[in-house]
């Protein structure tokens, strides 16, 4: 056998076979009586490999999600509400200028210089000028 078709259910319907120097193409397997059956595998290609990678990535994400859920359950179960509050406060902290008047000045300069304010470019420029003038940042509560 040189080639075979394969349905989605895994059945072979048509084959190309060779007897001597003659090749017979698209022969229906209903007309053949197998003498020797042999299983074999094909290398995975294209979409099958992509699907395998996707499955690995999805299973890794599910694993991480499961660990996070378990950790949250453990924290709640142990009544560590203070730990939860502390972790959330990390996200709620805000950087505030050490010299608010200087920051206000450079923010006003950025508003004059840039057409669009607030914008990432304008704030970046203002922060750079503020830092060059000796300004700094500290953590503060929102």
- The pLDDT confidence band at residue 80, using thresholds 50, 70 and 90, is low
For residue 136, give the 3-state DSSP assignment: coil
Asked if residue 108 is part of any domain, the answer here is yes
Residue partners of 63: CB distance under 8 A and separation at least 6? none
Residues 29, 54: one domain?
no
Same domain, 53 and 82: yes
Q: Phi/psi of residue 130, each to 5°?
A: -60, -45
Question: 0.85 exceeded by the pTM?
Answer: no
Q: How many domains in the chain? A: 3
The confidence band for 34, taking pLDDT boundaries of 50, 70 and 90, is low
Q: What is the DSSP letter of 139?
A: E
d(CA 98, CA 127): 12
> Where in the sequence is the domain holding 10, given as residue range(s)?
1-33
Instruction: Tell whether 69 is covered by a domain.
Output: yes
pLDDT for 66 equals 80
The verdict on residue 40 lying in a domain is: no
Burial class (CB in 10 A: 0-12, 13-18, 19+), 114: middle
């Amino acid at each position: 056998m040189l080639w075979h078709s394969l349905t989605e259910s895994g059945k072979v319907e048509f084959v190309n076979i060779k007897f001597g120097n003659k090749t017979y193409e698209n022969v229906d397997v209903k007309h053949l009586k197998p003498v020797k059956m042999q299983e074999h595998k094909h290398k995975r290609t294209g979409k099958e490999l992509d699907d395998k990678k996707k499955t690995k990535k999805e299973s890794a994400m599910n694993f991480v999600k499961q660990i996070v859920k378990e950790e949250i359950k453990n924290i709640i179960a142990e009544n560590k509400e203070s730990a939860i509050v502390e972790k959330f406060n990390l996200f709620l902290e805000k950087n505030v200028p050490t010299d608010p008047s200087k920051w206000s000045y450079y923010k006003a300069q950025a508003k004059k210089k840039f057409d669009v304010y607030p914008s990432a470019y304008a704030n970046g420029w203002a922060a750079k000028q503020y830092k060059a003038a000796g300004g700094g940042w500290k953590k503060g509560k929102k």
